[in-house]
Structure 1
């Protein structure tokens, strides 16, 4: 080998080392960002949790077919609050576990315009719901 080959070989090895060093630096930086963002969640039996995504389940009357396990990424800690409890006494459930709510009052109206289309919205108070729980319906 002559000196030109040796110098070229040495330059290639140095470039590979530099690439390797820069990759490790980038990986460490990404790991530190992720470590700051991710926290270990610990749940024990009896804890209340919120589901991040709500599922509409078709439940049989006996509820025996419900699998109570959700992926931990779907759960977050929940502190019980009496204001979150919805009384189910007033609901008349159908055989398929659904119910219908009836509107009892129109509290407000508004006209909206989306490009060339006009649409009216009504603020509706539903039976067994407070005025604060009224929602806008088209």
Structure 2
């Protein structure tokens, strides 16, 4: 029995990191991404994102921290579990060019498609599925994703105007 407990303990502690921050440290805050209604609830497609460094105001208990949020997020509770935070390591040589995201009250933001850059057809045994490669705002071209053409036509008909239909 002890051998089994020891083995389980070694598995559990293998990836565990004890995160601790001090008052005045800067941390990134994790947000959830939603690409319109179509992407909501799908597993594996989207990963969590972290946004701008915030100052830690004080520690609450063992695993919670109060964070200084800007006035635009005044309706969001400012106490976060340590799992929602990532350490910010400042680097003077690293210059970040970014457009600030418009965060909603639940710390999410909505992605909108910008352009269709490629089309293809997935051929299965009994059917052919048309796909389009979509570039989303707030993302580079190399982060474009393949989406079902039928769903994109219904949700975003403005992307399918002009000579793209003849492609």
Q: TM-score, normalised by structure 1?
A: 0.49
Larger Rg: 1
Given the two structures, how large is their TM-score scaled by the length of structure 2?
A: 0.42
Q: Per residue, is there more helix in 1 or in 2?
A: 1
Question: Which structure has the highest strand share of the two?
Answer: 2
